[in-house]
Structure 1
């Protein structure tokens, strides 16, 4: 039975008293300490599957891992003041702890017996969500509540900038937009100028909490004060070098910032409620800002519909690092560690100042933020190496501080104007955070020119030269490209790239590779359909065949954002001067990586079809028109009519989710299915035909496919061969076409399977095994596992194409229209 909060607090108080004076090593007592800590939360370590001294792929040992829940890294008490130095080790363990089957634990704890740091790396990678001493543990019990199987609550003496602060700012934006307080460009400028000001005053870039004082005055002054004038005046001073405010002015000491952010000083009237929301946001500690929050701000500004139309799905920092580290950080770290002379170090410093990074789908700038931060840390490591060499040579330390990595070396392209400006704000913040973290004598004001973050359609634009290309291209499956981007754009893609219509990410992989120079690197995130069949050949296979070497990849993992997809992460180098020292697949060092994201020697992508499977497996009909699919109430109304036997054309409609989620594995929807009946026969069911006239006809008459245009009352892909195979049967097997595992269920002949289903008229008695190289004719993400026969692993035969749009054989048409079909 779960313990009460008071009981946990009581146990933790006794625990803290017992351990507060411990002064030994981590090895001698760490396991006792952790067992007792778990007991305080009512958890039996062995019972939940947590274990000690887990070996990592890199050869280190995690002190404790509770799969899917947490990793604990212990240090001796004297390290309490130096836990910052041990974070990377713990986070590296976390990075390597996940597998495609078992994701990495959600939380990481670094503990020195006397002090705790708690991380949630998938949300905020580098900063702890909570940190406290053992004497605070009873009152901070909620920060470790995951040890009791619950959700932690991260609070502290200092308010951290969380998503709550972003929500406040976003709510102001929405309120202003809904009441048309100004044109959208002005509102966008206002909200971004406000965000930067909240950040700047906490870093004393604005004097004496100026922005907060202005808000307080406006709230207290009521109608006698004007936010449009007073906040507008602050933004005007930030925009211009001269004249500066007088010493008596409330704006005294306001710096010149501009950088493009204040090129159009925004003057907007705020209602009292909007002022109060901004004042609440000002109470947060904006020095603790993390870029992960800005995707949320952009989402709030775009709205979900606009977000989906842009394919804009945001990446957690943990996933960003799976691109940035192998593509940018690791190669630079190797170069730094290889230096042996002062001359080499200084040449490398010079090389770093010319190194450029491009994110061609930069969104709110998260990839660029992480890349910039890590490059500044590389820069600091070079300076430390220079200083060490000078000291070793007996010279006074003269490490050069005249060369700085330029913020303008970060380049980006983004379609949405709000995102472009937000990415620039993110990078300006990144510069100040780097200056503070690394104690760099660099002045972040005036703001750097970031015109290299450009607005436009990246696939239509010339990309700037870059040493590294990183990012998360928009997600549109090939079947959604026309709907989301339009027919003209789809045709342009076909002709521009010469590879037909593929998943949208395929074109980004090709363009990125084309822009790389020898030795250049790229790392992209995409849905895992990029590794499969029709998408793999024109992307990863083409990259490998034209000089690319895949150096690090995640074959498939659950997406960290809200998009319900699995992703692959691919990092490669163009024509390397020497073979990569190591290649890593799913966190494990392998000899090489194939385009199918399999270890060299285990590639099943070239498996051939089994001829014996011909005519035994089919893809179900594709509606091509939402009006075909009915909710239960609509279907029951048609089925209750007596003017015709509507059971012949209104059928239960099975989708993969029904098999995967529903207890009875039966259909939850219905579909109007005229099979291949001509229009005159379909008119015998007038109510069903009227539904399609209202909901489908206009859309289908605009379809580019002639058959679908002229036969608007028929499903877009009737699949005659499947109907003929099922016609004589009393039942058939349906299987899911997407998902990590294929799931089967018996279905009766009245049930119509969807195009996201695989059907088999007979049960094949053979052994199945898992493989990411699954084959479906429609090129969806995961599909069939391969069939094991003898010593060869072979694919289930791809679904046969639709044999013809207008069957002329009378018997063929009759069997396709039969009730059992």
Structure 2
């Protein structure tokens, strides 16, 4: 089949999605010189139509076409909503073994969404007439045979480091103007979140970038315009003709603004033009903390605890025990659903189904009640990855339940599941921003809308205080939690007096006498 043949046929076709999808895909295979699913994999084990259609509810598959290690592919009828098709693929990406490409098609246009975890996401768009173009046909060919060729070049780490560097310069300029460091940190965090919010569509029509562009022509007007925006984000409202949702969460609890000079506005605008939707929360808190805190400015290029190292703790401490619990419970649910299928009357079937649903509901509630503590949380890297892992467990539980014949439920595990203690006010506030952004990114990446009213839930569970001693010299209490993860501070016993002061060290050793040897490293007090 030639490109002209394919284009002519599918321009004229007015078939419904269900009757057209497989024929369209088979024609595409012929056009590209690729083997069809049945030719390549007669068993359907790694390449097939209707992946997931064997699930016990008997419903439609999780993807119209699936090829392991390459793509999940969803069709819609002509002129239908491809965004909805993409959302469906996102929600089932875990069940599809997280393919690197999520492809949607309405018979006349293709959208190839990249889905690698640690790269900036990219969308390749191909209209039907574009198939005359050999380069664009090559994109589709690569989706079948060499998906890595479509992998975006920029990593999320590189994007995050660039953003951190931009804001470090802005923070430094504001401090040189005489503003208090904590005031600068709070203001910068607001700017960061505005840039993130507009890039994911929570602030409409690039509102914040447009604000900065106008302020660059009239710098004296920036403060007034930013106050209007923060006032709207405090409780919901309007900025000009644009409707702004309720954000608050404590980050936008007032309208305080720092004026920006022309050079500061130029730095802010350069930062705003980055793609903030793909910022990596697992490192950005640390990087921004170094940019915001004068005492840590020299550490901007220093090593941070990366995602993989953190997951070496999160996986065995939190994820594996919860998955083991679910695996055992899943067997009981499967037994109940077998009773549904073999029941001799509707009453018995209903009772067995309700029993299975109760087991599922109780485990989801168990996940909602999980509490994870990092008692030296810094800028929130461990908390973000622990929350993400817990949400992944919940998502997998819902997909497993659907496979067994139960209804998949909306994810409800949220930031209230993580608790932190951090003595540095810069880091404590950044931890909240890190968790907020991580929660929103997870919801969007998995095809779910974010919570509203407000968008940012208060994170009072991340406390700014000493984790070992209270102000009155008594032992500090930690909040109750089921799991504890983190990287508490190491400081040799011989250095405590010099670094922490004589009074603090004497009190610390007295309070923990009999439990921690006097010359022990500071980290021993945390354990």
TM-score surpassing 0.5? yes
- C-alpha displacement of 1:165: 1.4
Counterpart position of 2:224: 229
Counterpart position of 2:290: 299
TM-score for the superposition, normalised by structure 1: 0.43
- C-alpha displacement of 1:231: 1.0
Counterpart position of 1:527: none
- Contact 1:192/1:422, CA 8 A, preserved across alignment: yes
Moved over 6 A (4+): 83-91, 115-119, 129-134
Q: Cα 1:366–1:186, aligned 2, differ >3 Å: closer, same or farther?
A: same
Instruction: Give 3-state SS (helix, strand or coil) of 1:459's partner.
Output: coil
- Contact 1:232/1:268, CA 8 A, preserved across alignment: no
- C-alpha displacement of 1:474: 1.4
Whether 1:457 and 2:437 are equivalent positions in the alignment is no
Structure 1's unaligned 5+ residue stretches are 1-19, 29-75, 92-108, 120-125, 137-143, 145-151, 392-396, 510-821
**Partners of 1:268 and 1:420 in 2: how far apart?**
21
Q: Cα 1:254–1:433, aligned 2, differ >3 Å: closer, same or farther?
A: same
**Partners of 1:86 and 1:384 in 2: how far apart?**
10
Q: Cα 1:492–1:163, aligned 2, differ >3 Å: closer, same or farther?
A: same
RMSD (Å) for aligned C-alpha atoms:
3.8
Q: Deviations over 1:28-48 (max 9, x none)?
A: 9xxxxxxxxxxxxxxxxxxxx
- C-alpha displacement of 1:478: 2.0
Whether 1:330 and 2:320 are equivalent positions in the alignment is yes
Instruction: Give 3-state SS (helix, strand or coil) of 1:423's partner.
Output: helix
- C-alpha displacement of 1:359: 0.6
Whether 1:282 and 2:272 are equivalent positions in the alignment is yes
Alignment equivalent of 1:379, drawn from 377, 389, 394? 394
Alignment equivalent of 1:487, drawn from 475, 498, 502? 502
- Contact 1:160/1:288, CA 8 A, preserved across alignment: no
- C-alpha displacement of 1:153: 10
**Partners of 1:217 and 1:274 in 2: how far apart?**
14
**Partners of 1:352 and 1:255 in 2: how far apart?**
29
**Partners of 1:159 and 1:21 in 2: how far apart?**
37
Q: Deviations over 1:160-219 (max 9, x none)?
A: 833111211221111111122x33333222101111111111111111111111011111
Alignment equivalent of 1:467, drawn from 457, 479, 482? 482
Alignment equivalent of 2:523, drawn from 496, 505, 509? 505
**Partners of 1:214 and 1:160 in 2: how far apart?**
26
Q: Deviations over 1:451-485 (max 9, x none)?
A: 11000111122100001011011121222222211
Counterpart position of 1:80: 70
Instruction: Give 3-state SS (helix, strand or coil) of 1:412's partner.
Output: strand
- C-alpha displacement of 1:130: 8.4
Q: Cα 1:210–1:297, aligned 2, differ >3 Å: closer, same or farther?
A: same
**Partners of 2:163 and 2:444 in 1: how far apart?**
22
**Partners of 2:424 and 2:157 in 1: how far apart?**
32
Alignment equivalent of 2:425, drawn from 409, 417, 420? 417
- C-alpha displacement of 1:262: 1.2
Counterpart position of 1:257: 247
Whether 1:186 and 2:209 are equivalent positions in the alignment is no
Counterpart position of 2:415: 407
Q: Deviations over 1:744-767 (max 9, x none)?
A: xxxxxxxxxxxxxxxxxxxxxxxx
Q: Deviations over 1:391-427 (max 9, x none)?
A: 2xxxxx53343x7113212110101111111111111
- Contact 1:431/1:444, CA 8 A, preserved across alignment: no
- Contact 2:373/2:485, CA 8 A, preserved across alignment: yes
Alignment equivalent of 2:261, drawn from 254, 258, 271? 271
**Partners of 1:388 and 1:414 in 2: how far apart?**
42
Q: Deviations over 1:503-523 (max 9, x none)?
A: 1111111xxxxxxxxxxxxxx
Q: Deviations over 1:304-360 (max 9, x none)?
A: 55888xxx9841111110111111111111122222312322211111111101111
Q: Deviations over 1:723-764 (max 9, x none)?
A: xxxxxxxxxxxxxxxxxxxxxxxxxxxxxxxxxxxxxxxxxx
Question: Which fold has the larger relative contact order, with Cα–Cα distance below 8 Å and residues 6 or more apart in sequence?
Answer: 2
Alignment equivalent of 2:373, drawn from 344, 353, 358? 358
Q: Cα 1:185–1:132, aligned 2, differ >3 Å: closer, same or farther?
A: closer
Q: Cα 1:189–1:81, aligned 2, differ >3 Å: closer, same or farther?
A: same
- Contact 1:205/1:255, CA 8 A, preserved across alignment: yes
Whether 1:212 and 2:209 are equivalent positions in the alignment is yes
Counterpart position of 1:165: 163
Q: Cα 1:347–1:466, aligned 2, differ >3 Å: closer, same or farther?
A: same
Instruction: Give 3-state SS (helix, strand or coil) of 1:411's partner.
Output: strand
- Contact 1:198/1:282, CA 8 A, preserved across alignment: yes
**Corresponding pairs, count:** 386
**Partners of 2:262 and 2:196 in 1: how far apart?**
22
**Partners of 1:23 and 1:155 in 2: how far apart?**
32
Instruction: Give 3-state SS (helix, strand or coil) of 1:162's partner.
Output: helix
Q: Cα 1:459–1:313, aligned 2, differ >3 Å: closer, same or farther?
A: farther
- Contact 2:319/2:390, CA 8 A, preserved across alignment: yes
- Contact 1:407/1:431, CA 8 A, preserved across alignment: yes
**Partners of 1:506 and 1:87 in 2: how far apart?**
40
- 1:234-249 matched pairs, under 5 angstroms: 234-240=229-235, 244-245=237-238, 249=239
- C-alpha displacement of 1:437: 2.1
Whether 1:177 and 2:186 are equivalent positions in the alignment is no
**Partners of 1:427 and 1:155 in 2: how far apart?**
23
- C-alpha displacement of 1:228: 1.3
- Contact 2:120/2:152, CA 8 A, preserved across alignment: no
